[in-house]
Chains A and B, each alone.
Chain A
Amino acid sequence: MCQGVVVLRGEWTLRALSPELRRMRQLLDQARSVASWDLGGVSRLDNFGAQLLWRHWRQARPGRLSAAPELLRVIEAVEALGAARLPTRPRHWLAPIHTLGDPLLGLMAHFAGLLHLLGQLAIDLAYLCVRPGLWPIKEFSANLYKTGVQAMAVTALVGFLIGVVLSYLSALQLKAFGADIFIVNILGLGIIRELGPVLVSVLVAGRSGSAMTAQLGVMRVTEEIDALATMGISRHVRLVLPKVMALAVAMPLLVLWASGVAILGGMVSARLQLGIGFGFFLQTLPGVVPIANLYIAVAKGAVFGVVIALVACHFGLRVKPNTESLSANTTASVVSAITAVILMDAVFAIATRHIGVPL
């Protein structure tokens, strides 16, 4: 042990120390082996200051310590804490297998959850047929307005621009072959059968799907869903069903609307680029695009709408009461809805491969 005394003075508080903390640590390190400490000149000592000293004393009081009684009380509080440590969760030896297996099991849980939701809706629908007074008509109407009417502007804008771009790019190629007239076939089939439904689905999933998940999620965080349950009101009937019904109705209409506007955009572009008149375009369209394509588009719209609403509600009802879970589930809802829509679209493409395509 070194001879001599370490004399501390002034404020030993977090606020006073923090600007010079690095230098203080060094000075304390140098004084480590000194056995005699005089804290007589310390005007204030807070818990942080006491812990700093305690750490440099290596968790033991120095041989001689002189300090005012109120400072000693602070040091005693730190001493009494001892070596309390935050417990660490030991890593299980199966952890790598868990890392692989958990997402897979999670995926299966999601499918089971979706199936459960669908089954519950079917049961509720059957019940509502017996008790027609319970149909959530007002909620359905409100959702129809929110997801349908309010989405018209953005779907029209995006549809129009996509129509213009598709028509412009196709026109460049068709011109080279002198096959200008086929612009009607390409736009008609492409937009009505494929692009319209998928485009609207992506927009609606991003716009209404995320809103549904966030709404149900916040209702779970604030226990509003539990409040509904205690009043004997089924969350499936009151919250999920109107959303599914609204999208099942709104989506086909939005698909027709957006496809119409996209074809208008294509027509404008075709007229400027290829000199094909509106009248000729509209006259040719029914001949080259069989009406079956329109039915497929409407069916796709309804199915995609149901899928988006179900996925959104499934994730919304899974939200745990914290901010992280809310954001994670909203993201998962949008990404899964879009993926599911594209998968369903592939199923449609295979199932309807002989229908409505001129051979």
Chain B
Amino acid sequence: MTVAAVELAGIVTRFGATVVHDGVDLSIPAGEVVTLVGGSGSGKTTLLREIVGLLTPSAGEVRLFGEPLLSGSRAEQVRRRRRFGMLFQQGALFSAFNVFDNIAFPLRELGCLTADEVHDAVMLKLAMVELQPEHGLRMPAELSGGMIKRVALARALALEPELLLLDEPTAGLDPDRSAAFVRLIRALQSQLGLTVVLVTHDLDTLAALSSRVAVLAERRILACDALDRIIELDHPFVERFFRTETSRRAMARGLESI
């Protein structure tokens, strides 16, 4: 039996008097691509931040690869953090470093790689996200929106993670680039056998990428299942989100693009 890559049990999140999550349970098996959907303000990004430990839930437990996120010695926690990579919504590239140094940064932090090994690894990552070696010398401010996302993806992949978390990976990209980025993530996912958790509003992306969809509504996970079964759910949010004519068309387009 394989351990779940991500396991959330009874997550409760409160900000002051507002309760965002009230008993979220979710188990994501290794190798799956799970999309979190929910209305705006339903706490999707918050949940993602709790998975990576940027926020601590008010109650409940986050387990990554079968172990509680914040357990063990400091060294063990650092090792656990190196098993996942996160792509932030705005890229979160270090603006003082060029592209090469941004991707090389986590590798250099390991402290055991030679300069040549770092160089080769960065070149491979750049090639994986379909960028040229000469892009390595650019500064983040000189990149277009799509390139920022790719460099951020390359950096998230630098440490060969098993789990990849994507926060709105295609937000702010035009449909063409967005489709290309989705194809890229799909190709990398199947090539590297990654587990992917993503948050998106974009139904094209959702349909093209996810093997499962988790619906976050009424402060908990309503259901986590394959897309075609989620669509059949009887719930006002699902009705509004998936069953309008535009949504159906967007999802059909997403499925076509792969």
Interface residues of A (CB under 8 A from B): 13-15, 18-19, 21-22, 46-48, 51-52, 55, 73-74, 77-78, 80-81, 84-87, 89, 320-324
Q: How far is the CA of A55 from the CA of B117 in the complex (A)?
A: 9
Complex contact A46–B192 (CB within 8 A): yes
* Binding site secondary structure of chain B: helix
B116 interface contact, C-beta 8 A: yes
Q: How far is the CA of A80 from the CA of B160 in the complex (A)?
A: 19
Q: How far is the CA of A21 from the CA of B116 in the complex (A)?
A: 14
A-B contact pairs, 12 of them (CB 8 A): A15-B82, A18-B112, A18-B113, A84-B123, A85-B123, A87-B133, A87-B136, A321-B141, A322-B141, A323-B94, A323-B95, A323-B96
Cβ contacts under 8 Å, A84 to chain B: 123, 126-127, 133
Given A85-B133, A322-B139, 7 more contacts at CB 8 Å? A13-B160, A74-B191, A77-B191, A81-B127, A86-B119, A87-B134, A323-B96
Mark out the residues of chain B between 4 and 55 whose CB falls within 8 Å of any chain A CB in the assembled complex: none
Closest 4 CB pairs of A and B: A322-B95, A324-B96, A46-B160, A14-B160
Q: Which of A14, A74, A322 contacts B96 (CB 8 A)?
A: A322
User: A-B contact count, CB below 8 Å?
Assistant: 77
Cβ contacts under 8 Å, B74 to chain A: none
Cβ contacts under 8 Å, A74 to chain B: 191
Cβ contacts under 8 Å, B136 to chain A: 86-87
Cβ contacts under 8 Å, B96 to chain A: 322-324
Complex contact A78–B124 (CB within 8 A): yes
B59 interface contact, C-beta 8 A: no
Cβ contacts under 8 Å, A47 to chain B: 121, 124-125, 128, 160, 192
Cβ contacts under 8 Å, A86 to chain B: 100, 119, 122-123, 133, 136-137
Complex contact A48–B133 (CB within 8 A): no
Given contacts A51-B121, A86-B100, contact A21 B113 (CB under 8 A): yes
Cβ contacts under 8 Å, A323 to chain B: 94-96
